[in-house]
Structure 1
Amino acid sequence: MINEAIENPKQYTYIIAGGGMAGLSLAYYLSESSLTYERILILDQGNEATKTWSYWSDEAHPFDVFAEHSWGQLEVNSFANKNLNLTIAPFVYRKIESGTWTKAIQEKLHQNPKFEFIQARIEGFNFQGKFAQVLTDKGRFEATEKIFDSVSPYPCDLTNPKELKQHFVGLSIETNFPLFDPNKATLFDFRIAFTNACEFMYVLPTSTRNALFEHTFFSGELLDEKAYLAQIKAYLLAYYGLSDDDYEIKGSEKGIIPMNYVAIPQNLHQKIIKIGTSGGFVKASTGYSFKRTQVLLKKLVGQLESDNKNAHAIHQKRFKILLDRIFIQVLVDQQVKGSTVFEKLFQKNSAQTMLRFLDEQTNIWEDLRLMTSVPTWPFMKAFFKIVFKRPTFY
């Protein structure tokens, strides 16, 4: 007997393949838009691990209400144990727990009868005539307008040491006694950076007894999970005097984020649009994705509203792309410590300028001034390598 769903695929206006952060964010902006549509299908493969998303902003955002905690003070600790206390106003740094956010967005969308959720394993994409289709273990689903794909892999070889990754393991702990300052988050602690790879601890205290500690690398080579955990425990003992008996582990997280730059040109004429990590929404040189994804998706929905099919899914200035590629090459070459680069940038520029720079909100003249803060020779070598040799892994 032929499966009816396979023989006669169900039709939707839009299909969002992947119900993670990018897919649900797109669904949210579609639900708030002026677009008219019959139905939108969200195909969710399930088993999404709990994650921490952090971002800074100097203006209100609809997702601010989901923040577990926020900070107006950040700090950066250099390898030489020099502490920088950064007041970031008018910016606010926020932390969102993915499970809380996901549940809230799903509940909002479930109230809209035009959205449908189906849990299915996505097996591929296809075209049937003028319509695009998603192939799943529960049959074929067809989009009369577009499919938004957030599940296809981003081209990054995890085994290639010349392809930069942000890789990390984090522990959320609760101490037996009050210890932390919940008014200040540690963006970078480079006191653990004993190699030329960019290695740091990231600390988000949400109360006097609760904090997230993430051991993070920007490098090409991955570590065994035990190595990250050992470094976190050593850090807790060295800088907070905490032994294993002094705290309880309340949760953990880990991840690998591609930081190599790959051009993924897309315009809205296409029937299948890649979004999220699949579409290159992660900022290549830093691994930041949450706020950038929101900005890009909100613009994308705006272009759909105006029916501007010539619009690009990501519109990036060529100079910003060049800066990203140079920065990545410096981190890959490791001819200067990655920690030194970030230390110099924060030591010689205001916190507000740095946050705007990391958000790609600075102009070309501000970028050039920022580049005078970093060690010149490694960046010049990286520039010539990018411009003249054009390595294939970028």
Structure 2
Amino acid sequence: MHRCGPIDVDLALVGGGGAASLVLAALDRRRVRDLRIAVVDPVHRRGQDRTWAFWDEPGNDLDPLLAASWHRVEVVTPWRSRVLDLAPLRYAMVRSRPIYDRAAEAERRLGAVRVDAPADVLDDGGGRVTVRADDGTPLVRASWVLDSRPRPPRRAGRTNWLQHFRGWWLAADVPLFDPDRAILMDFRTPQPARGVSFGYLLPVSSRYALVEYTGFTPTLLSDAGYDAALTDYRDLLGLDPARLTVREVENGVIPMTDAAFDSRPSPRVTRLGTAGGATRSSTGFTFSAMRRQAEQVAAALAAGRPPVPAPAYPGRHRWMDAVALRALDRGWVAGPEFFDRLFDRNPVERVLRFLDGTTTPAEEAAVMGSTRLLPMVAATVGDAAARLRDRLVPARRAATWTVPPAVVGDPVRESDTG
């Protein structure tokens, strides 16, 4: 509800997507009832506008919300097919409707006020933050602001790719899918001249599944290009189009960049989601990091501390992402070969935790040691030289970036820009 004049609160959530929804649910679980909360967003999120998938251990608060989960997944390269047993982990899918519904219920119990207006400027005065509309009108005054809107980085990237995808939710008139096994990555798709592509299949039941085509490239495809790629991949899987109906279509674009995002642009403003560094730049994974941010924010507020989460990923992971992106961008490493070696030479749990940013330095050394040495050394040297140039000529790295379109769905890479 939008009220005349600014609203005074303890906490303002600017942006009401996945990141804010997870924060509201975490605050509700911890029974934080003594905070005045406002949600500032012109759109009240409802329904199925996103799909997230992630790996974790069963037995947590998301269990009742899941659309499906798998303990076995398949990784396919031009050279081999592997069926991986994820135990003790699982690969799980959740659609946006139950996330938004849980957040709406949490919002009601927390007594949060909704401001249905777009925020523009966050004016941090030291003691309070004023959230202003684009015409300068003050909407909210808050002690703390959590901002999950897409924001440009503090420093432009040295490598800037996009993870882009289109998926078809397919309904079959006869059983066609194995609901006990998902295809996590299938690199038999035609590979672009510069970048990587793969398909995947996430079955919800024997008659309903998501089939998706994904590209890691500097540029997007046309609408016709995505549909042609999906048609080819459907045929590669041996799925009879006469038996299938496309029930839903989802699209998305996620930045894959070594740009530096400013997770705390002022003392009382914290950014969440992609703008807060939650997107893993080498893979696009975001959802698990957003969950960690939400839990840390809720724990801090419950204890009377500032709602400032830890960095989404260790600094060494951001460095490894920059090196990997450089190697892929220069063509020194081929994507299918990179992932083939990764899964071939490491336990699957180690690979999944590495992609999620939760491995130890010793495990990371083992993972990096499974890649081809000379290309990664060249990428490391190139990255170090680029960092040195940036220090000598900092103006060259001024952040100029167009924020990609908001993500509509992201089953494999867990993404939500906020």
Normalised to the residue count of structure 2, the TM-score between the two structures is 0.84
1:274 maps onto 2:271 in alignment: yes
- CA distance in structure 2 between the partners assigned to 1:157 and 1:208 by the alignment: 47
Greater shift, 99-108 or 359-368, is seen at 99-108
- CA distance in structure 2 between the partners assigned to 1:167 and 1:341 by the alignment: 19
Greater shift, 322-331 or 184-193, is seen at 322-331
Match of 1:148 in 2: 146
Distance verdict in 2 for CA 1:381–1:253, change over 3 Å = same
1:170 maps onto 2:170 in alignment: no
Greater shift, 44-53 or 352-361, is seen at 44-53
- Report the AA paired with residue 145 of structure 1: S
1:300 shift after superposition: 3.0
Q: Give the SS at the match of 1:192.
A: coil
- CA distance in structure 1 between the partners assigned to 2:200 and 2:160 by the alignment: 22
- Report the AA paired with residue 171 of structure 1: W
1:117 shift after superposition: 2.0
For residues 90-127 of structure 1, give each alpha carbon's deviation from its aligned partner in whole angstroms, at most 9, with x where no partner exists. Answer: 00111001123212321232233x21223222233224
1:129 shift after superposition: 6.9
Give yes or no for contact 1:121–1:136 (8 Å, CA) kept in 2.
yes
For residues 314-353 of structure 1, give each alpha carbon's deviation from its aligned partner in whole angstroms, at most 9, with x where no partner exists. Answer: 1643322211211121222222211211111011212111
Give yes or no for contact 2:273–2:290 (8 Å, CA) kept in 1.
yes
Greater shift, 286-295 or 306-315, is seen at 306-315
Q: Give the SS at the match of 2:327.
A: helix
For residues 165-206 of structure 1, give each alpha carbon's deviation from its aligned partner in whole angstroms, at most 9, with x where no partner exists. Answer: 211111101122211101001110000143351210021011
Match of 1:103 in 2: 101
Match of 1:217 in 2: 215
Distance verdict in 2 for CA 1:266–1:129, change over 3 Å = closer
Match of 1:24 in 2: 21
> Which residues of 2 match residues 1-394 of structure 1 at below 5 A?
5=4, 8-33=5-30, 37-46=34-43, 50-80=49-79, 82-112=80-110, 114-127=111-124, 130-136=127-133, 139-155=137-153, 162-195=159-192, 196-243=194-241, 245-266=242-263, 270-307=267-304, 313-314=310-311, 316-390=313-387, 392=397
1:307 shift after superposition: 4.9
- CA distance in structure 1 between the partners assigned to 2:172 and 2:319 by the alignment: 45
- CA distance in structure 2 between the partners assigned to 1:347 and 1:41 by the alignment: 48
Give yes or no for contact 2:148–2:271 (8 Å, CA) kept in 1.
yes
Give yes or no for contact 1:156–1:258 (8 Å, CA) kept in 2.
no
Distance verdict in 2 for CA 1:259–1:307, change over 3 Å = farther
Give yes or no for contact 1:265–1:312 (8 Å, CA) kept in 2.
no
1:253 shift after superposition: 0.7
Distance verdict in 2 for CA 1:47–1:104, change over 3 Å = closer
Q: Give the SS at the match of 1:320.
A: helix
For residues 135-194 of structure 1, give each alpha carbon's deviation from its aligned partner in whole angstroms, at most 9, with x where no partner exists. Answer: 237952333311111114243999x99412211111101122211101001110000143
Give yes or no for contact 1:44–1:118 (8 Å, CA) kept in 2.
yes
- CA distance in structure 2 between the partners assigned to 1:361 and 1:327 by the alignment: 17
Give yes or no for contact 1:268–1:311 (8 Å, CA) kept in 2.
no
1:86 shift after superposition: 0.4
1:214 shift after superposition: 1.2
- Report the AA paired with residue 321 of structure 2: D
Q: Give the SS at the match of 2:258.
A: coil
1:255 shift after superposition: 0.7
- CA distance in structure 1 between the partners assigned to 2:195 and 2:264 by the alignment: 36
Match of 2:409 in 1: none
Greater shift, 383-392 or 311-320, is seen at 311-320
- CA distance in structure 2 between the partners assigned to 1:292 and 1:38 by the alignment: 24
Q: Give the SS at the match of 1:70.
A: strand
- CA distance in structure 1 between the partners assigned to 2:188 and 2:341 by the alignment: 15
Matched positions, count: 386
- CA distance in structure 2 between the partners assigned to 1:293 and 1:94 by the alignment: 16
Normalised to the residue count of structure 1, the TM-score between the two structures is 0.89
- CA distance in structure 2 between the partners assigned to 1:156 and 1:174 by the alignment: 44
**Structure 2: where are the runs of 5+ without partners?**
391-396, 400-418
Between 1 and 2, higher relative CO (CA 8 Å, sep ≥ 6) is seen in 2
Q: Give the SS at the match of 1:122.
A: coil
1:35 shift after superposition: 5.0
**Structure 1: where are the runs of 5+ without partners?**
none
For residues 345-372 of structure 1, give each alpha carbon's deviation from its aligned partner in whole angstroms, at most 9, with x where no partner exists. Answer: 0112121111121122221111111112
Q: Give the SS at the match of 2:141.
A: strand
- CA distance in structure 2 between the partners assigned to 1:129 and 1:105 by the alignment: 30
Distance verdict in 2 for CA 1:161–1:212, change over 3 Å = farther
- CA distance in structure 1 between the partners assigned to 2:16 and 2:287 by the alignment: 15
- Report the AA paired with residue 73 of structure 2: L
Q: Give the SS at the match of 1:90.
A: coil
Distance verdict in 2 for CA 1:162–1:267, change over 3 Å = closer
